[in-house]
Structure 1
Amino acid sequence: METLNTKQRLLNVDALRGFALVSIMLLHNLEHFDFFFKPKNLPNWMIQLDQSIWDTTFFLFAGKSYAMFAFLFGVTFFIQMNNQAKRGNDFRLRFVWRLFLLFIFGTINSAFYEGDILTLYAFVGLFLIPFAKLNSKTVLIVAFILFLQPFEIGKLIYYFQHPNIEIGNPQSWTYFGKLKEYIPGDSLLETIKGNLTNGKKAVWIWSWENGRFLHLLSLFILGMVASKKNLFVQTVKNKKFWLRVFIVSIVLFIPLFYIQKYSLGTIESKAIRATFKAIEKSWTNFAFTFVMLSGFLLLFYSKFWQKILNVFSPMGKMSLSNYILQTIIGTTLYYGFGFGLYKYTGATYSLLIGIVSSIALILFSKWWMKNHKRGPLEQIWHNLTWLNSK
């Protein structure tokens, strides 16, 4: 069988995780870390360029970067479970403790940036545990049901029966509106307080409104099964599998994107339109996520592209450290307690800042991994995970 050794096999996963993290960073920079603000008195050419960069970056990565990251969370979960099973250990209770530690890391990250995803991962990850010992067919059925967004479909059926029902703005908007009260201010303490109270409510409510909880679990499960099936081993059979995924994902994405762009506005009922949009958008993002994910893995079969894409590997190996580092760097640059760059940087300059920050973290990761087995926070997480173990 045409395979690579274990060390090489993991490079595509590390590189994909690093790529997902970089794309998350670029989005966060364009959004000024959830503090949306357009600088005033810009020339028309800069306004047009900013809009083009914003539209392109969001088309490529919004709703997809976090999905790739979530898929790889499931991959790591199975690797850890499987490694311990080979030693005769049941990792599930230890994984609960590991998720609690992740929640702590996420809370620290949330103090600087309310849009943190680590606390969401820690919570949703608990629901992954019951599926660890089930057969792949069963869990794939569950993943598919979660992908369909059953709660939103239930709402849609109800709204079809009551098309004239009045619905208000999403509840999360109220909390996001309050960001203006503390993020522009120069007090780090007030920013932390606001992020850990108002900010966390905003993100968790928004995540529920947009179906993120169900999609996260679906992606966790899919990553777990992909790892269980050894789909990251570079074989001819797996290359054909990812090619099929790539083609099917494109075939699904094109009509879904067309509906999203041109058909949603024709729905007269606000309730039906809003609910259908939430479902359709999540499906569209899901499809394009797997276009990017499978495309990345297919490129990795080429030695030429593998050499290029391996640039992301060191960053992927210490993704926890880099995720929190990019938060601290970014919020210090953009928020009022730091340099307040949100007032001056449109999408163009923010993208450049994101690219420079990404390069800096890639170089830092490469330097760190030359002398360490794990990233700094990964080592702490590992040590605490196995605290009091034999």
Structure 2
Amino acid sequence: MKEEATAVSNEIRRHKRVVVADVLRGVAVMGIVLLHNIEHFNFYSFPDKALQPAWLNFTDKAIWDSLFFAFGGKAYAIFALLFGFSFFIQDDNQKMKGNDFRARFCWRLLLLFVIGCIDAVFFTAEILVMYSLVGIVLVATCRLTTRTLLILASIFLLQPMALFNIGAILLNSDFEVMKVPTSELWGATFAMQSGGSFMQTAVVNLWEGQLASLAWAWDHGRIFQTAALFILGMVIGRQGWMLKEYQKGWGIAACWALPLFCALRGLDLMLPDYILNKDMLDQAHLLLSSLYNLCFMILIVAGVLFLFYNTTGTKEMLCRLIPYGRMSMSNYVSQSIIGSFIYYNWGLGLHDRLGITASFLVGIVIFLAQLSFCRIWMKRFSHGPMEGTWKRLTWIGAR
């Protein structure tokens, strides 16, 4: 009887699932699948524009610019924010049971690394491997005070390497920013995407592709930005900022984020007229784009939370994304498999036949197909296939 009472107590003393987080995951993964399709899954090979009608070139540009404005750098940011949020929920649930989750989470990150490598077989620019590496920051910082976490996240968001490089250029105009040489790596992946078999593409993707992707993430500030968002997601969970009663705070954040986004993006667009040093321009763009993408992400999150908690019709529509968000990893990995099969040489090889507009429509079809599958799957199971496997392996050997 005592053991049963303890089990019941432990079951009660845990966080309830915050379903709006699943909605946000659904929005993020939807944006990611649409972006990946118009990019041909990091395979920038498209039909000849000169052979297309003018109206199609117009829609191609309109779709490309619109999707990158809405989701470029923002969908991944939401995904990263929710990664930190999920860590807090898991860690705090275990603390309430008297357990320390940190060692188990390190094992979970190792499993994520393996899942990321599986994803990388198909898609060179996947982010799960990077998450598995950067995720150690959560283990290192989760016992710090909220004030310290906010300071640390702010430092990461200000892109310390970019600031260092800007300062070095100001002191010495001949200073050259060190970048990881990746042209040969990207060239190798492009060659396999264009003409390689599945096995050839997989081998190159796993080595050259992953090295190029991680180097790109470092050169473009994604490492620091991801670490900051992981920490902020953990703080959001700790403070309960995803709950309905904290909507006023998100409203205030949105009121600050909108003018800051406009100012930072406007400044970024003006910089080429005033900065001639290319390295300085690149580093300033890296810093400003990181900050204005963060501002836009805040607007998206605040908007979704407001619609979810304060409207009826829109909430019902957003709730349709809950199964999709709960199966975000399964959807992320499966869209890599589907997309590489559609566009790469080892599959259908449609990279030079489907333009941006057609690829956007393909992305919508993939999203709708995944959404339908998720709705059916979640009626029978509590977790998606990848999520369930990851969870079971996470707790393997646990008592």
Q: What does residue 268 of structure 1 align with?
A: 276
1:176 to 171, 186, 190: 186
For 1:232, what is the secondary structure of its paired residue?
coil
State how 1:224-243 maps to structure 2 within 5 Å: 224-235=234-245, 238-243=246-251
State how 1:1-390 maps to structure 2 within 5 Å: 10-40=18-48, 41-165=51-175, 171-235=181-245, 238-301=246-309, 302-390=311-399
Aligned residue pairs total: 383
Deviation at 1:350, TM superposition (A): 0.7
Partner deviation per Cα, 1:181-209 (whole Å, 9 max, x = no partner): 11012500011011011111110100000
Deviation at 1:179, TM superposition (A): 2.5
- TM-score normalised by the chain length of structure 1: 0.95
Deviation at 1:241, TM superposition (A): 0.7
Instruction: Tell me the amino acid that sits aligned with residue 241 of structure 1.
Output: G
Task: For 2:182 and 2:307, locate their aligned partners in 1 and report how far apart those are by CA, in whole Å.
Answer: 39
For 2:43, what is the secondary structure of its paired residue?
coil
Deviation at 1:359, TM superposition (A): 0.6
**Aligned 8 A contact 2:15 2:93 in 1:** no
Task: For 1:119 and 1:106, locate their aligned partners in 2 and report how far apart those are by CA, in whole Å.
Answer: 5
Identity %: 37
Task: Single out whichever of 281-290 and 10-19 deviates more from structure 2.
Answer: 281-290
Deviation at 1:347, TM superposition (A): 1.2
Where structure 2 has 5 or more consecutive residues not aligned to the other structure, the ranges are 1-13
Task: For 2:176 and 2:119, locate their aligned partners in 1 and report how far apart those are by CA, in whole Å.
Answer: 37
Task: For 2:236 and 2:272, locate their aligned partners in 1 and report how far apart those are by CA, in whole Å.
Answer: 34
**Aligned 8 A contact 2:157 2:228 in 1:** yes
Partner deviation per Cα, 1:262-310 (whole Å, 9 max, x = no partner): 3334211122112111111111211111111111111111122111111
Deviation at 1:315, TM superposition (A): 0.9
Q: 1:155 to 1:264 in 2, by over 3 A?
A: same
Q: What does residue 3 of structure 1 align with?
A: none
Task: For 2:250 and 2:177, locate their aligned partners in 1 and report how far apart those are by CA, in whole Å.
Answer: 42
Where structure 1 has 5 or more consecutive residues not aligned to the other structure, the ranges are 1-5
Task: For 1:171 and 1:264, locate their aligned partners in 2 and report how far apart those are by CA, in whole Å.
Answer: 24
Partner deviation per Cα, 1:64-120 (whole Å, 9 max, x = no partner): 111000000001000000111111100000000000000000000001101110000
Deviation at 1:176, TM superposition (A): 1.9
Task: For 2:66 and 2:248, locate their aligned partners in 1 and report how far apart those are by CA, in whole Å.
Answer: 30
For 2:383, what is the secondary structure of its paired residue?
coil
**Aligned 8 A contact 1:20 1:69 in 2:** yes
Deviation at 1:173, TM superposition (A): 3.6
Q: 1:8 to 1:86 in 2, by over 3 A?
A: closer
Task: For 1:182 and 1:154, locate their aligned partners in 2 and report how far apart those are by CA, in whole Å.
Answer: 37
